[in-house]
Each structure stands twice: as structure tokens, then as C-alpha cells.
Amino acid sequence: MSERIYLCLAHMSGREQEFIKEAFDTNWVVPLGPNVNGFEADLEAFVGENKNVVALSAGTAAVHLALLACGVGPGDEVICQSMTFCASANPITYLGATPVFVDSERDTWNIDPELMEQAIKDRIAKTGRKPKAIVPVYLYGMPARIDEIMAVAAKYEIPVVEDAAEAFGSMYKGRVCGTFGQYGVLSFNGNKMITTSGGGALICPDEQTKREIMFYATQARESYPYYQHEHIGYNYRMSNICAGIGRGQMTIADEHIAHHRHTYALYKELLADVEGISLHGNPSEEYDSNFWLNTILLDPSLEVVGQESAYDTAVTGTVGGAAGVAHAAESLHTECEPNANVEAMRLALDAEGIESRPLWKPMHCQPVFASAPSYVNGVSEELFAKGLCLPSGPCVTDEQIRSIVECIKRSIRR
């Protein structure tokens, strides 16, 4: 292959430059302006349900502000899905609270509602207080069992913050993910369904709540002719430039979502006869994933060429390439890692210029959260051991998908 195939890269509509040029021409190069207002209006129309949306600097900022709005503070506990990216859990600690991690169920790979209720009961018994919020995640775009999650939340009167960062356009029973709970989180990072280069948004229940979120997102300033601060605020608003990119992206959002679902259908067709590999799909007709990333599980009995030496060489750099700077690995292994055949498959794809990646490592297995309470059933650890993400973005062609599957087949030891 002459060009490297990435998991999920942004694809421009051609209109982004129009909105950005307008921002420069009118000198709106600040964290507010016509593009921000327009992007928020576009998002409100997209999610529906009479929701209000605040455009922010990152999805992480949206989680943070949603938890703040739920009253989370020092000494509180927040239920959080364990199998997720760290951005779902880190903001809990920003507020001085403690994450309580809950494992997944097998159908959607998202938070297990029954285990979640057990965790709530146990936390009440142990601390005398119920958790302040619940953060379910739509893993790789797959809708969660959100009706059951909301029923448990209502029973104990705990607000829900839906982390729909990976689920832009995903639907459950015909309703957009991120609109079921009190708040919904969206992300527009460079690898998401649509991008603003970096950025996110918070779906709010009403206009008054939106204004309060905007207050905290713009450094919590009071109405005086000078800077008066009576609350701690944050510099979390999206810039007018980034919002211009978002407005351009919204013109092709439906095309992106359709393409991701098309890639799933093609992977499903091409992998159907590959024994030992399963592709994760919608559990039933009620679920309509955007398939942000297509994910496979490798049976432990499946032998992959080179698996006996898969962990012989230390990885340098970070997962996700130029996304960040990493400390050097202290050892070749950790206590919880993908199976050798999964790592061997990742290396085989990488050698052909194809980016793939293990599933999210569960938060309850992360050293930074070693002391956090957790309620586990083994599902997320099993998924992490067996799973791999495949290229799925709008720039991935049918021909490339066929090449990816052929590489997978060649890498299986006969």
C-alpha cells in the first residue's frame, strides 16, 4: 500500500473556508461570534427534542461542566462506565469527587444497568449517600441500554450525563443519543464523526440551563463595568474560527454517518467467512450505531503469525500518533493487556501501513484509578484482551477495506 490508512481522519466539505474567511473578514477571531451561534443552532436542529446546545473547547470540558451543573463537588461519588476513554472519568476528579467504575454488558459493551444498580445500592450502604451523577458512554458509537439506565437513575433520583462523544448521529429507538439524560456530551476532535479540529458541545435541557453553562464556560463574570467574580469559572468556549469549521462539517454530517455505516456493512460481508473473528454490530433493530469505529474480537484460539514475539519490542510514542507526548514504557508488559494474537494482528496491519488500535483499556485497570471503587463482571477486561479497532473514517475507501481484510486473512496462521 502506498499510503497509510488511518483509523478515522477528518474529511472537509469545502465550505469550511467560507465560514473561516467570514470570521477573519469581520474580525470575529474570539471565543464567541456568528459562527458559534450558527454552529449551536445547527446542532440543536440535528439533535432535536427541543434541546439547547453550548459549543465548547472540548468534549472533556462538556463532561466537566455537566458534572458541575449536577452539583458534583469534593467528597462526592460519580458512577462512571469503566470501559471508556479517560476523558469520561478525569473530569470527576477535577471536581474533587471519586469515580465509581461499573463494568459492561456483552450486547452493547456499555454500562451494565443491573450491575449499576447494585453499585448504587452498595455505595449508599457503605457511605450513607447516593452517587451524585451517572456517566454512561456510547462506546464506538453503539447506543447503550439507555431506557434501563434511565429507569434506574430515576428510581434513585440521580442525574445522567450521557457521554455521546463517539456517538454523533447514533440513535436508540429513533432518538438521537445524548438527548435522554439531563445532559449529553459531544466531541468534535479531529478523529470524530465531524470535527472542529478540536472542540465539543454540551446538550442542555433548556435555555436557562444553557445560559448557566455558558456563564461558567466564560470565566463566570458578573454584570459589572469591571471584572467581578463570585464563582470559579473556566475558559471553555469554542472559538469562532473552530465553529466555522463545524458549520462546514454539518453540511456533510449525514454523508459521514452514512459512510461509516457503509464501512460496517462491507466489513461484515468480507469478514463473514473468517473463523475466529467477530465484528461488533447492533444487538437489535432498536439500536442504530454510527459505527464511528468498526471493532472486531479475535478468539483466543485464533493463531496469528508472529504472536509468539508480539510483545518483544517496546512501543515508542503514543497511541494515536501525534496526539500527545508519552512517558517511556517501564516494561514490555502490564497486568492487563491485549492477547498476544491481537497485538500480533495490530503489528501485521501496521507493517502494511494500516492503523489499528486495541479497544479502550478499562478505567478500573488503569494505575491512576487503582484506589477508586469498582464493580466488575469481567466483560470489559475480556473485550480489551480480544478487541481491535479497524479503519472506519470518511476517507477510507471500499478498495482499502478489501485490502485491510485481505491483510487480516493473510496474517492468520493456517
pLDDT digits (tens, 9 = 90+) for 15-39: 999 999 998 989 888 788 999 999 9
Angle between helix 16-25 and 240-250 (nearest 10):
150
pLDDT at site 167: 98
264-288 residue pLDDT tens: 999 999 999 999 999 999 999 999 9
User: N- to C-terminal Cα distance for the chain?
Assistant: 24
Active-site residues, by number, are: 192
Nearest to 97, CA basis, from 64, 74, 65, 68: 74
| 3-class secondary-structure state, position 370 | coil
For domain 16-252, the CATH architecture is: 3-Layer(aba) Sandwich (3.40)
The predicted model gives 390-413 an average pLDDT of 97
Predicted model pTM: 0.95
38-62 residue pLDDT tens: 999 999 999 999 999 999 999 999 9
Task: Say what the alpha-carbon torsion angle 220, 226, 230, 231 is, to the nearest 10 degrees.
Answer: 20
Ranking 19-33, 141-155, 386-400 by mean pLDDT, the lowest is: 19-33
Q: Are the C-beta atoms of residues 150 and 172 closer than 8 Å to each other? A: no
212-261 residue pLDDT tens: 999 999 999 999 999 999 999 999 999 999 999 999 999 999 999 999 99
pLDDT(327) > 90: no
* Residue 317 binned pLDDT confidence (cut-offs 50, 70, 90): low
pLDDT at site 1: 45
- Where do the structural domains in the chain lie, given as residue ranges? 16-252, 254-411
Mean pLDDT computed over every residue of the chain: 95
pLDDT(347) > 60: yes
Q: Which amino acid is at 341?
A: N
Percent of the chain with pLDDT strictly greater than 70:
98
Return d(Cα 158, Cα 196) in angstroms, integer.
32
The predicted model gives 191-198 an average pLDDT of 94
Right CATH for 254-411 from 3.10.105.10, 3.30.70.20, 3.90.1150.10, 3.30.70.560: 3.90.1150.10
